[in-house]
Amino acid sequence: MFTEFVKLWVVIDPIGTLPVFLAVTAGMGAAAARAVALRGILVAFGVLVFFVAGGQILLTAMDIALTSFEIAGNIVLFLFALTMIFGESKLEEDEKLMRSSDLERAVYPLAIPSIASPGAMLTVMTVTDNSSVDLREQAETVLQVAVILAMTLGLMLMAHRIIALIGNAGASVISRVMGLVLASVAVDGIIKAMREVLAG
């Protein structure tokens, strides 16, 4: 059970979510940022629970291999990482903020693909394999996911205190550095999936 918790912690990556959260809530007030954080967590929890209960059934019904799903998800993650690295002009950011609602930003990119990442979706499916894991063990996995997401929420709620200390320039540097890290994680996920394809 502890091993499973560690695995879920790594793939959900609460600390790695912080730069994404800071990017999508830039310029927001504290109350609006808290609302985005809570909505993002709730959406991510719903998505991961869905993949615990029915992810394998859905992919099997559509005849999609797990590796194909992982590659596609990591490509999406990589593309978002590029936006973190290169950024956009202030005018473009303001126009996007006017067009997108808080809920939209909570769903993408915060809930998906940052918190409920392709790796997280794939992991909850594999550790709750319908052919070898009973309902009690699946319920334990859901509980572990809930605990990790609660920790993630706590970190996000403290994020603006961190920004108050390091300033917008510091936040910009962190966002770009973490964007590079996120891109590396996505590429690593693609490489691992490709190895599985070639080996199989």
- Predicted local confidence at residue 111, as pLDDT: 93
Residue type, 73: G
- For the chain (200 residues), the mean pLDDT of every run of 10, in chain order, is 80 81 82 93 96 85 83 79 66 46 82 86 79 80 96 90 73 74 82 87
Question: Domain limits of the chain?
Answer: 2-199
**What span, in angstroms and rounded, lies between the C-alpha atoms of 196 and 76?**
20
Q: What is the pLDDT of residue 95?
A: 43
Residue 25 in contact with residue 33, Cβ under 8 Å? yes
At 158-168, the pLDDT tens digits run 987 776 777 76
- Residue 74 CB: number of other CB atoms within 10 A? 24
Before 109, cis peptide (omega within 30)?
yes
The structure's pTM equals 0.71
